[in-house]
Amino acid sequence: MTPPAPASAPVPTAPDWAPCSDRSRERGDALGATGGLGRRWLLVEIDSPWGPHAFLDSALDRELGRAIARRAEAAGLRPVAIRRFGLRADERRERTTMRWAIAETRPGREEMRWGTVEDPAELLELPLDGSAGEPSERPAFLVCTHARHDRCCAVRGRPVAAALAEAYPEETWECSHLGGDRFAATMILLPHGLYYGRVPAEDAPDIAAAYQRGLLVPEHFRGRSAMSLAVQAAEEHARSQLGEQRVEAVTLLAETPGAGDEPTTVRLRHGLDEIVVGLQERWTEPLLSTCGARVPFPVRRFEAVSMEIVPAGAHAPRQR
C-alpha cells in the first residue's frame, strides 16, 4: 500500500508545543508492534556526552566514528553507543579501555559477546561475524537517554536508567537513539531484543526481572527487534488472545506479504498448534513523531483482522 502524503496539518506554535511523548500519550498512540528492525547489534562504549549522532558528535574522532558506524551497518549490525549511568567526569577520564559487544537477537541464536579495545581504531579490524569476544550469559539492559537526539529520551529515560542501575548495576547501560522517541522512556533488553516503551522508573526493575524469568510485560512491550512490524503485530495479537507471556512460547513459521488489498499472513507456532494471523496495513493520521519534527507524517501500522488456530493433527482451523 502506498503511504499517504504528509498532510498539511498545523504544526504547533511555541505556546502550543508539547514534548513528543506527551503528544503521543494524549493521542493514545498504540505502543505494540512499533519496534525498529535490528537482528544484530554492535554496542560501543563511548564514555562522553553525545551530540545529535553519538558516533559523530562525541569524544570519538568524528571520521573514525563514521567509519565504525558505516562498517557495522554494511555488515547488517545496528550500531549503538553505550555508557555507564552516573559516572563522574573524572571517572570517565580514568577509563583506559573501551568495551564493545555484539548482540545476536534472532530467535534461537540469542547471544551476547563482549570485548575491549585500548584504541577505538581497533574496532575497524573487529570481526563482525560473531566470532570475536567472549560469550556472556549476562543480559544487557539498554535505556535510551540520548538528549541531543530527542529531549524526551533524557527527561523520561534517565530516571529509568537510574532505577535499573540501582537494581542491576552490571547489566544496565545508557544508550543512544533506539527509535520510537514518542514512546519514551524506551529500552531494549538484549540478547532477545525486547523493546519496551512508556516505561515508568518504578516498573523498570520488574520488567528486567520478568525478562530474566523468561516473561514479557505486555503493558509496555513494543515488539522484538528481530521481527518485522507485521510479525510483531501478529505476535501481539496472538499473545493477547492466548494470554501468553512467555518470551519463547510463540515462534515464527512464515510471513507472507499481502498483494494489493489482500492481507499479510503470518504463521506462528504455539506449543503444538499453528496460529495463522491475517493483518491489514494501515496508516495513522499525520503526526509529529519526535520533538524536533516539523512536518507531520503518517506512521505505518498493521492491524490484525483474523486469527485461526490449527491444533496439532487437525486439518481445519478454528477461528478466534
| Domains in the chain: ranges and CATH | 1-19+228-320 (no CATH), 38-226 (3.40.30.10)
pLDDT at 257 over 60: yes
Average pLDDT over residues 239-254: 97
Q: What share of the chain is helix, strand, coil (3-state, %, to 5)?
A: 25, 30, 45
% of residues, the chain, pLDDT over 70: 90
Average pLDDT over residues 285-305: 93
pLDDT at 9 over 70: no
* pLDDT at residue 2, rounded to an integer: 59
Provide the β-strand partners of residue 278.
265, 306
* pLDDT at residue 89, rounded to an integer: 62
Average pLDDT over residues 5-20: 63
Closest C-alpha to 20, from 299, 226, 217: 299
pLDDT at 96 over 80: no
* pLDDT at residue 314, rounded to an integer: 64
Provide CB contacts within 8 A for 276, sequence distance 6+. 265, 266, 267, 268, 306, 307, 308, 309, 310, 317
Bigger pLDDT: 71 vs 97: 71
* pLDDT at residue 97, rounded to an integer: 87
Provide CB contacts within 8 A for 308, sequence distance 6+. 275, 276, 317, 318, 319, 320
* pLDDT at residue 182, rounded to an integer: 96
Average pLDDT over residues 5-32: 77
- pLDDT classification of 294: cutoffs 50, 70, 90: confident
Instruction: Compute the distance between CA of residue 270 and CA of residue 252 in angstroms, rounded to an integer.
Output: 9
* pLDDT at residue 87, rounded to an integer: 74
Helix, strand, or coil (residue 121): helix
Instruction: Compute the distance between CA of residue 167 and CA of residue 288 in angstroms, rounded to an integer.
Output: 34
List, for residues 164-218, the tens digit of each pLDDT value: 999 999 999 999 999 999 999 999 999 999 999 999 999 999 999 999 999 999 9
* pLDDT at residue 6, rounded to an integer: 52
pLDDT at 33 over 60: yes
Q: How many residues does the chain have?
A: 320
- pLDDT classification of 17: cutoffs 50, 70, 90: confident
Instruction: Compute the distance between CA of residue 95 and CA of residue 97 in angstroms, rounded to an integer.
Output: 6
- pLDDT classification of 94: cutoffs 50, 70, 90: low
Average pLDDT over residues 90-100: 76
Instruction: Compute the distance between CA of residue 132 and CA of residue 211 in angstroms, rounded to an integer.
Output: 26
List, for residues 212-227, the tens digit of each pLDDT value: 999 999 999 999 999 9
